[in-house]
A and B are shown apart, each in its own frame.
Chain A
Amino acid sequence: MATAAVPYRFRTCESTGLRVHADAEALLKVNAVLAVVFLAMAGTAALLVLLTRWPPLHLLDPVWFYRLLTFHGANALLFWIIFFEMAILYFAGPIVLNSRLPAPGLGWLAAALMLGGAALADVMILLGQADVLFTAYAPLRAHPLFYLGYILFAVGALIVVGLFFASLVVARAEGAYQGSVPLVTFGGLTAAIIALVTIFGGVVTFVPAFFWSLGVLPNLDPAVYRLNFWLIGHPSQQINVSAMVAVWYLLASLTVGATAVSEKVSRIAFTLYILFINIASAHHLLVDPGLSPAWKIWNTSYAMHLAVLASMIHGLSVPAAIEVALRRRGFDRGLFEWLWRAPWGNPGFAALVLSIIIFGVIGGITGVVFGTEQISIISHNTYRIVGHFHATVVGGTTLAFMGLTYYVIPLIFRRQVVWPGLARLQPYLFGIGMIIMTVSMVMAGTYGVPRRHWDIDFSLAPAGLRFAFDAPAYLFLTLTTLGGILAVTGGALYVLITVMSVFAGPVVERIPIPSLGPIPAVAGAQDVPEAHGTVQTRTAHADIRGTLVLNFLFLGIFVVYYLLNWKWLADVWPVR
């Protein structure tokens, strides 16, 4: 498509002042649209799975329950999130750097490979050829085309990551920007580096599994498969974390004109992710046979929890940036005036704040606690784990991406967001639903409810062996369903608003778009040059007392939940 003969086409964005390369923009759009399509499929499966896990309704039969659970995992955790992250890379690379995307033809090839791979895997799952759930633990065996679908998808993603690196080189060589890369690009770079490691994990996991499913490889060691699988399984979540944090900084800028309080602190935190976050995959193997306690403790702790420290730093830096920006707007009284007067009616802002809270307070705390070597005994493979990763990936990453969408629609698709009233409501529905659902899942798991289970009444098992859970387990499963329905409603609303806006929304003539909330959609183009000049003075007088109080409150909750879990562990039978 793009050859040297065709001149690079650019437009200048009135809101951000960025020069937007047409090819990068087109690829961004395609990947974002595909992401939303896969989210819609994942969400549909989520609702059916959710209504099956509610004992009074028990909607699906076991075969379709496990099949749609496999489908839900693949579409939500891989296809939706990674397609959206590809869109973010096209933005954070060429667009943010005012540069061109080299070799856009490869971008189209990558999108085709990813779409083909995802479709292939989905078809095999729905045909009942891959009832293996997301993890596909060998010796459970799926159809070879299922593994091939995953491999094609990963190859496509690898190409986009390569294009992102190439765009950094091109932008630097052609002098598209001066000095250091912007923070959002730095976050995107972190995600891209982690993606390389992740895709390596995908190769060592799924290429042998593919040949094994064909019968070419006679044997696949199940313990080695688990070790390899988690080299893709968890690092892919670390891509999500890095991309999400980059989106947090971006949304803080877009919604209230915030700038990082300390570039140094934020960049050090991203660097800690690059260095340490991937080894934490070991926390999936804490109660596995064969691995030494020393190996487990070192790896599950991300090397003395330095990557946890990184997340805690971002959890301070992003709210601090918001606080400083809002105080600068005059909401400077007391500890929290900035918080009360924040643009809560702006869906981008609401999504940002809810994402930080759900990711940090629910997802972050449970992650560290359940990833403690010994505490894994009382949490491994229970519903506690499902609560943890829905808080991080759905309440955290997905909600942040939803919030960003309200800016992608006007700024990139050049359409107005339809139904602004519903758009304002959407992040709250989704976020509050997620809070209720994830907390209830964690609680149900605390009472022993297993994950990935069709029937906790064991109604089809031999009568003499059946086991009955305590009443609280059922209460929390009901609350899980309630929260889940709210979240699915919020998710459906998001898909509807996005599709209607992109394909039928009024064309944007001029930005800002006042329909999005009290503060103009983009904090004002006039803020941009000023933002540079004021960085120094704001650093000197940064008043972040409110954020500090909130963060110490968070630390308090963290300490209490952590100690409580040691107490619960001490109450079970001695085992060594």
Chain B
Amino acid sequence: MTIHPPERIWWKPISGAERVYIAAALLFTLTTFFLMPVWHFLGAQNPTMQTYRVDKAEYLQKVMAWADKYKVGEQAGVPVVEPPPGGDVYLLARTFQWFPVLKLKAGQTYRVHVSSSDLVHGFSLQPLNMNFMVIPGYEYILYVTPTQKGEFGVLCNEFCGLGHHLMVGKLIVE
């Protein structure tokens, strides 16, 4: 019984059946480990580490100035912004809004800056289901290449207060 001390010498050779499975499991776990660095170099989808410390108010100003410059319209009171293809894109998360609505060109690679001016938020692009954390004080840089055209929803998937479910934005790819 497992509630009684084992016999005196319990470190005996492991049986063949156990060896076979443990070896197979070890092989699999090593594969799952090494596929991560392999994908890092060969795969197209990788969460990067390019990040800058940024003052919350400063980031807010930066986004506003940029949005004013490239504003092309308005949706539900939120500016629609179309930056030059392949250029910098700024996205601001704040309670309870994604700012602004982005209009991008398919096939172009954009340098997307994401940060928050208040709390921790979760960037969730749907229905693609791509998710990244947004943390105040940290400007996260993601090089994104939209490959499909259409309208995409941007949700918040990290709880950010009692209006969390109001936080919806939009990304348009043409």
Contact = CB atoms under 8 A, between A and B. Distances in A.
B18 A316 contact: yes
Pick from A138, A287, A373, A382 the residue with the most CB of B within 10 Å.
A287
Interface in A452-506: 452-455, 458, 460-467, 469-470
A548 B20 contact: yes
Interface string B131-174: 11101111110111111100001011111111111111110000
Interface in A177-216: 177-184
Interface of B: 1-8, 10-12, 14-15, 17-18, 20-22, 24-26, 28-30, 32-33, 35-37, 39-40, 43-49, 51, 75-78, 101, 109, 118-120, 122, 124, 126-133, 135-140, 142-148, 153, 155-170
Pick from A137, A290, A306, A573 the residue with the most CB of B within 10 Å.
A573
A181 B4 CA distance: 8
Interface stretch (A25-33, A119-127, A259-267): A259-267
B135 A531 contact: no
A437 to B, nearest CB: 20
A415 interface: no
8 contacts: A137-B158, A140-B159, A183-B2, A264-B10, A287-B131, A301-B33, A532-B7, A570-B45
Given A222-B120, A287-B131, A527-B1, A535 B168 contact: no
B2 A575 contact: no
Contacts of B21: 312, 316, 548, 551-552
A216 to B, nearest CB: 20
A305 to B, nearest CB: 3
A373 B138 contact: no
B17 A548 contact: yes
A331 interface: no
> Closest 6 interchain pairs by CB?
A467-B153, A464-B76, A305-B29, A450-B157, A289-B140, A462-B76
Contacts of B132: 287, 377, 380
A373 B47 contact: yes
A514 interface: no
A226 B146 CA distance: 30
Interface of A: 16, 18, 62-63, 66, 96, 131-133, 135, 137-140, 177-184, 221-223, 226, 249-250, 252-253, 257-265, 285-293, 296-297, 300-301, 304-306, 308-309, 312-313, 316-317, 320, 368, 372-374, 376-382, 446-448, 450-455, 458, 460-467, 469-470, 527-528, 531-532, 535-536, 539, 542, 544-545, 548, 551-552, 555, 558-559, 562, 566, 569-570, 572-576
A451 B157 contact: yes
Nearest to A294: B37
A95 to B, nearest CB: 9
A548 B17 CA distance: 7
A453 B20 CA distance: 45
Nearest to B22: A313
B1 A305 contact: no
A297 B159 contact: no
A292 B49 contact: yes
Given A289-B138, A463-B76, A464-B76, A253 B17 contact: no
A290 B48 CA distance: 8
Contact of B130 (A264, A377, A466): A377
A572 B101 CA distance: 20
Pick from B6, B48, B77 the residue with the most CB of A within 10 Å.
B6
Contacts of A66: 159, 162, 164
Contacts of B48: 293, 575-576
B121 to A, nearest CB: 10
Contacts of A558: 28
A454 B130 contact: no
Contact of B164 (A139, A452, A574): A452
Contacts of B30: 304-305
Given A450-B155, A531-B4, 6 more contacts: A66-B162, A373-B46, A373-B47, A458-B166, A470-B127, A566-B39
Contacts of B145: 573-575
A163 to B, nearest CB: 19
Pick from B24, B29, B48, B142 the residue with the most CB of A within 10 Å.
B29
B14 A262 contact: yes
Contacts of A465: 75-76, 78, 101, 168-170
A86 B15 CA distance: 35
Given A548-B17, A548-B20, A469 B126 contact: yes
B44 A18 contact: no
A192 B113 CA distance: 43
Nearest to A528: B1
A442 to B, nearest CB: 13
A377 B124 CA distance: 9
Nearest to A132: B159
A423 B11 CA distance: 39
Contacts of A291: 49
A179 B157 contact: no
Contacts of B119: 137, 139-140, 222
Nearest to A262: B14
A575 B6 contact: no
A63 B162 contact: yes
Contacts of A320: 17-18
B12 A259 contact: no
B47 A377 contact: yes
A448 B4 contact: no
Contacts of A542: 15, 17
Nearest to A301: B33
Nearest to A312: B25
Contacts of A551: 21
A18 B39 CA distance: 54
B96 to A, nearest CB: 8
Contact of B44 (A382, A469, A574): A574
Contact of B29 (A138, A309, A381, A382): A309
Nearest to A523: B1
Nearest to A18: B3
A576 B126 contact: no
Given A249-B2, A263-B6, A297-B40, A562 B133 contact: no
Contacts of B37: 297
A182 B2 contact: yes
